[in-house]
Amino acid sequence: MKFCDECGSIMHKEDDTWVCRSCGYETGGDAEAEEAMVTTQAQEDGGIVDVSDAEDKGLPTTSVVCPNCENDRAYWYMQQIRSADESETRFFICTECEHRWREDDH
């Protein structure tokens, strides 16, 4: 990926020239640098994979008691849901019953 030296937008390859579609800036290609670039054009579209029934949610687990079933393990993640000057909110998903709850810092 190459960015425009003038406006910072993404440059697009047209023949042997890089062209900025935002401001019109053009620059010549550099074969060695372009060879090192990674593109997604050759990747095949594998479609959407439904992992909603998968046991591993790809999240870390912690020791916390579920208020629904009293299981002692839950997946957790943090998310900023209030203003930026306040702490993030911790969300939990029970590893047994998949009950969801959150814990706020006060």
- At residue 28, the pLDDT reads 82
Q: Is 48 annotated as a binding residue?
A: no
Q: Is 94 annotated as a binding residue?
A: yes
Q: Is 20 annotated as a binding residue?
A: yes
Looking at the domain assignment, is residue 25 inside a domain? yes
Residue 37 has pLDDT above 60, yes or no: yes
| pTM for the model | 0.45
Domain that holds residue 34: 1-39
- At residue 70, the pLDDT reads 93
- DSSP notation for the chain: --B-TTT-PBEEEETTEEEETTT--EEE--HHHHHH---STT---------TT-S--SS-EEE---TTT--SEEEEEEE--S-TTSPPEEEEEETTT--EEEE---
Residues 35, 65 share a domain:
no
- At residue 55, the pLDDT reads 54
- At residue 2, the pLDDT reads 77
| pLDDT tens profile 38-88 | 555 544 555 555 555 555 557 888 999 999 999 999 999 888 877 777 778
Q: Is 41 annotated as a binding residue?
A: no
- At residue 21, the pLDDT reads 87
What CATH code is carried by the domain that includes residue 83? 2.20.25.10
Q: Is 97 annotated as a binding residue?
A: yes
- At residue 59, the pLDDT reads 85
Q: Is 56 annotated as a binding residue?
A: no
- At residue 75, the pLDDT reads 92
Looking at the domain assignment, is residue 67 inside a domain? yes
Averaged pLDDT, 97-104: 88
